[in-house]
Structure 1
Amino acid sequence: MTHNLARKRTALVALAASGAFLVNACSAPGTTTESTPQASTQTSASVQTTCGTDNITMKGYFETGFPLPKALTDEFTKQFPNVTWDVREDQFAVITQNALRVLADDPPDLMRLPSIQQAVKAGVLLNLDEYATAYGWDKWPASQLEQLRVNSAGARGEGSLYAQGLNYSLTGVFYNKDLAAKIGMTEAPKTLAELDDALAKAKAAGITGIAQFNGGATGGLAFPLQNLMAAYGETAPINDWIFQKAGANINTESNLKAVQHLQKWIKAGYFADDVNSLDYAAMMSRFTGGKSLFIFDGDWESGNFDKTMPGKVGFFLMPPLEAGGKQAAMSAPLTFGVSAKAAHPACAAFFLNWVATNQTAREITVKIGGSHPMGAQDAFMPEVAKDTVTAQTLAAGTKIGVDNGGMDFIANATSSIYPKSWTPNLQKLVAGEVEPDALLKSVQTDYESQIKG
């Protein structure tokens, strides 16, 4: 899970991540074969595959400080002048806590969501299988859409398609090359032990090792924690937990080692002293201001760093325990879903297909989003200079594909798990108010309660 220094969000997000955009929709509209510039030529007997020619306003509810959606909607209006956008923005934590209420009271056409399962269970998301057939989304690599599927039992990872992606992001570690040189770090760490060593050297040199946001309702320590989880264990059990597979448990031996390692970093003073009051914008300000060696963040910042700190920033995936080991990353589509109450569902679906298939849209996704666009395997990809951070994050995405190391974000397991469980528990870990085993037990208890509720 952009950007100027006023950006505040977690992740992809977004994971960053993570996360999901929600597009409201009424029942499937009637058939139309009307075509417009850049429109898909594929049609379905039951869905409309254009925005039409009438003047319409699409209502959006986006995450504060995230430039990619706005850049795409602006370009969309240039190509389709009859479609304009009325966008409201809020912080990620506000959106996650109020999503279902907003959808019920004043549903927008396009909305950012981290998790789709609760919305599916509540019956507010439209099954997108017909749109997938009409636009040929089912011909894309299956892994792109896996996290956007929900089965009849309410588990993610399989079943019908209830969301679509804006791009495919991943997270890792950005580092300041000038500060790295001061501690003799000439290349990215190849093992977790080498990363530990770099942090220790930074501490000894009076350099903040990690300026990670963890204040308010968004616990950014979930980023390094999940990276540590992947270093100590397999990704499949983590995804099973996020996807709400039966019997899934976050409280495992390998995850305990990960939390203990994070606690070691905290006690060693590798994080900024005010980590529990640090928000996303402050983290970014410190990093771009040369006051932090590392930040755990996502490829959505690549374009920003290429503009504001050209040649000064590097990126690497979380190193494994052993040199040459497989690597993993929080890697997920930034997604949209279709609900039951919007004025323009067909245009929303057309927009999502346009994002993945239009050449200019794909250029925006790479150059502003810093991440790989969704779409067919042989779809157009813009050229990226080899010495850029964007090139490094795209290469990291290829490595994750080879290692089959993609994970969704642990904050997306339920609609409430991030603000109500991970965040307060991670803040307590920093404050010395909870031990690693108790943290995992608490999160698992909250998880089970939220699923049942």
Structure 2
Amino acid sequence: MITTRTIAAGAAVAVTALALSACSSPGASEESGDVELRVLVNVTPNLTEEWWNELVAPFEEANPDIDVVIQNPGAEGVAAAVPRLLAAGDAPDIVQSQAPSVELAPELVDLSEYEWASEGPLADQYSIDGKYYMAGIGVQLQSLMFYNKQAFADAGITEPPTTLDELDDALAKLKAAGWETPIQTGGDWMSSHVLQAVGLPSIIAEYPDWFQEMSDGELTFSETYGPAVERYADWVAKGYIPKDALGVKYPDAEQNFLAGGSAIYPMGSWFAGTEAKTPDAPEIGVFRAPAEDGIDNPAMGANIASPYFIMKASKHQDAAAKLLEYLTTDEDAVVSQLEVDGNFRDGYEYETTALGQELGAIVADTPASDYTPTGGGYGERKLPNGYSDEINAQTQALIGGTPAADVLSSMDAWFAANAN
């Protein structure tokens, strides 16, 4: 087997614009002899270089003419490395962890002819102009609420809420039972995560094209997000969301919930990985973020787990497609990637905790059509640039006591200034 190696993105060598044009030809073909595939990946404490090398080792063994070189972007990160490497004429063959965008699509290989791409997880949601530029291994759920089972029992809550009205009742019972922090949130990016969990399941169910219609100015924020913002402000007023939450950092919020200091923790499915490593955590369950009463198909916020795309500049596009098929369909490869980061895909199972099994059941019960982006969106479902920062700032204003009407007015003004 050809030995897998690792190189740093910082080793890119600048070439002339003419050379960049030549290697960017969409008709680039395989060179004779052995093929070297450079794969730019996200390296984290979980996704180490050693882990990546082990992941692709079986593929190399089955394809001895292909040498997979893991490329570590270092502190720069994948998103920043890609445009720099493109400009230098040193683009990798494959990029992992970055979703395709309208701006980047001209630099990517159209994978629509491959069923493993066009029929993979969240493929339709990430398509652009009807083309599939990405293949992923599963989903990261976002519209979730983790809860302390003992807290619910103490408050007399026998079943997780399935509507927002039921959630209101549950919060009132938790507060009455002595829980000072019924809902755990914090400052930074966490603030708007709760608001989106409250709003998007209902909004997207009622307005499936909400992202596009907001971007085009066909809808307003106040007419669609108004009920969620008003409910959030009411939670702040009633103490369900502590007013000092803005001073709480993400790691501290997570640890407070794991230590039994709060009852409900709206967070993405990756939290299950942390819970599994916490031996003294209380018994924790999870329910999907509920919608308004009468909505039977609440949307589920989700991101693609471990997206891959092939750069059009690659001279080895066929070999790259072969590697992507392996990474996104081979059972052992997919399960390894799902397990290491706590992601999920219906039909691919791995040993997990009771909480992980509850999350797996949610994935199995969620039709692909119910998934929605969160934040600024992805694929063709995108909001104007800067939305995530703006909604976060306005949510923090809610926590600080700004009236809901003022926040809605500010968001309407922002969209008026930034919509297409």
User: In which range does the TM-score fall when normalised by the shorter chain?
Assistant: 0.7 to 0.9
Distance verdict in 2 for CA 1:303–1:188, change over 3 Å: same
Q: Which moved more, 1:221-230 or 1:343-352?
A: 343-352
Q: Which moved more, 1:99-108 or 1:190-199?
A: 99-108
Once the two structures are superposed, the pairs formed by residues 2-401 of structure 1 within 5 Å of their partners are 26-28=24-26, 30-32=28-30, 53=34, 58-61=39-42, 67=46, 73-80=52-59, 82-88=67-73, 110=95, 112-113=97-98, 116-120=101-105, 123=106, 125-126=107-108, 128-129=109-110, 131-133=111-113, 135-137=114-116, 140=119, 144-151=122-129, 159-171=130-142, 172-204=144-176, 205-215=178-188, 218=189, 220-230=190-200, 232-235=202-205, 237=207, 239-241=209-211, 246-308=216-278, 312-322=283-293, 325-334=296-305, 335-339=307-311, 349-373=321-345, 381-382=348-349, 388-401=354-367
Q: Deviations over 1:112-143 (max 9, x none)?
A: 446723434xx4x41x33x332x4236626x7
Q: How much identity, in percent, do the aligned residues show?
A: 21
Which secondary structure state, in structure 2, belongs to the residue aligned with residue 332 of structure 1? strand
Deviation of 1:256 after TM superposition, in Å, equals 0.2
The CA distance in 1 between the partners of 2:360 and 2:241, in whole Å, is 27
Tell me which structure has the larger Cα radius of gyration. Answer: 2
Q: Deviations over 1:309-333 (max 9, x none)?
A: 5882111012233388333210232
The CA distance in 1 between the partners of 2:163 and 2:31, in whole Å, is 55
Q: Unaligned regions of 5+ residues in structure 2, if any?
A: 1-22, 61-66
* Aligned partners of 1:27 and 1:340 also within 8 Å: yes
Deviation of 1:420 after TM superposition, in Å, equals 3.2
Deviation of 1:409 after TM superposition, in Å, equals 0.9
Hey, what does 2:407 align to over in structure 1? 439
Q: Deviations over 1:335-389 (max 9, x none)?
A: 3444566787666654543232111122224433443338xxxxx522556x711
Deviation of 1:53 after TM superposition, in Å, equals 4.9
* Aligned partners of 1:306 and 1:388 also within 8 Å: no
Q: Is the counterpart of residue 409 in structure 1 residue 374 in structure 2?
A: yes
Distance verdict in 2 for CA 1:432–1:447, change over 3 Å: same
Distance verdict in 2 for CA 1:360–1:272, change over 3 Å: farther
User: Could you tell me the TM-score, scaled by structure 2's length?
Assistant: 0.74
Distance verdict in 2 for CA 1:176–1:183, change over 3 Å: same
User: Could you tell me the TM-score, scaled by structure 1's length?
Assistant: 0.69
The CA distance in 2 between the partners of 1:349 and 1:448, in whole Å, is 42
Hey, what does 2:393 align to over in structure 1? 424
* Aligned partners of 1:249 and 1:444 also within 8 Å: no
Task: Letter of the 1:288 partner, please give it.
Answer: L
Distance verdict in 2 for CA 1:33–1:202, change over 3 Å: farther
Which secondary structure state, in structure 2, belongs to the residue aligned with residue 173 of structure 1? strand
Which secondary structure state, in structure 2, belongs to the residue aligned with residue 150 of structure 1? coil
Distance verdict in 2 for CA 1:430–1:238, change over 3 Å: farther
Deviation of 1:405 after TM superposition, in Å, equals 2.6
The CA distance in 1 between the partners of 2:47 and 2:327, in whole Å, is 11
Distance verdict in 2 for CA 1:54–1:345, change over 3 Å: closer
Q: Deviations over 1:285-305 (max 9, x none)?
A: 222222221111122232432
The CA distance in 1 between the partners of 2:186 and 2:84, in whole Å, is 27
Q: Unaligned regions of 5+ residues in structure 1, if any?
A: 1-24, 35-51, 152-158, 375-379
Distance verdict in 2 for CA 1:290–1:53, change over 3 Å: farther
The CA distance in 1 between the partners of 2:218 and 2:159, in whole Å, is 37
Q: How many residues align?
A: 381
The CA distance in 2 between the partners of 1:242 and 1:283, in whole Å, is 33
* Aligned partners of 2:220 and 2:412 also within 8 Å: yes
Task: Letter of the 2:68 partner, please give it.
Answer: V
Distance verdict in 2 for CA 1:327–1:56, change over 3 Å: closer
Distance verdict in 2 for CA 1:230–1:60, change over 3 Å: closer
Task: Letter of the 1:394 partner, please give it.
Answer: G
RMSD: 3.9
Q: Which moved more, 1:262-271 or 1:78-87?
A: 78-87
